[in-house]
Amino acid sequence: MTDIRDRFSTIGQRDLLEILKSSQERLKTMLIKILFGVLIGGAIGAVLGYVGKCSSGACPLTANPYRGALYGAALGALLAWVFSAAPKQSPTPPEEEPAPAKQASEVPSKDAETAEEDVETSDVVRTDSDAAIETQTPTAKGSSLMESLTKDSFLQKVFNYEQNEEWKFEGELPCIVDFYADWCAPCKMIEPSLRELAQKYQGKLNIYRIDTQAQQELAAAFGIQSIPSLLFVPLNGQPQMARGALPKETLEKVIHEVLKVE
């Protein structure tokens, strides 16, 4: 089966990396401030412990230089963290966002014969009415704003790769396509954030979900090897792919900067 990714110039490499890079810079700055806080606090504590020398030994900072340095370093780190994190409340994501990519779960592979049997069986059993019902079935916890897609509905609402060689978005609103599986823990972690975003941007953005176990052809066509994988599709331009359970703040930044939705 042709890998659809070969038809894209790039999928989620430059724009998303820029977003993550800015977050890494903020994390680096915060860590430097905390390190200075530890050094300065430890030095002040050590001096107080050396000069004070509390006779009872019950004074944390002045009992001895070692205890003074330890408590001073802890207080310095705490103050540095408070002053570097508390004043700013920008929409940029917290600095842990590179980590979630490591939370992606590997999609279990089947041999070719088994996969073909699954596809053939699903084609025989599923009728057009069944596909329509499945398309309209809400996701977990009654979220009717996130629509589950089959191959047929994906071709109609996102990209008809059977008729078009070049990328052509079929939708009227930008969308996010979440490739997931019911057994995937990181997929369950990101689902509440997607549900909240679907509510917040209702009428401006569509969020679709594709079960990689039920829709193996779609997963194979996009070369999905780890989940969750998120396909960000703007109205104009190429789609962008990201992997891992991205934080809600990162998802919102991608919605603003890549999908151009406010």
Catalytic residues: 184, 187
Query: ∠ CA 132-134-139 to the nearest 5 degrees?
Result: 135
Token match 């996009």: residue?
222
Query: Any idea what DSSP says for residue 140?
Result: G
Q: What distance in Å separates the CA atoms of residue 235 and residue 239, rounded to the nearest whole number?
A: 9
**Helix ranges restricted to H, 143-215:** 151-157, 185-200
Q: Which helix (H) or strand (E) holds 116?
A: helix 112-125
- Spatial contact of 124 and 131, defined as CB atoms under 8 Å apart: no
Q: Which of 97, 80, 90 is nearest to 24 (CA)?
A: 97
Query: ∠ CA 34-39-43 to the nearest 5 degrees?
Result: 145
Q: Which residues contact 42 (CB under 8 A, 6 or more apart)?
A: 69, 70, 72, 73, 76
Both tokens assigned to 206: 């569509």
DSSP β-ladder status, 240-243 and 175-180: unpaired
Question: Residue 174, preceding bond cis, omega within 30 degrees?
Answer: no
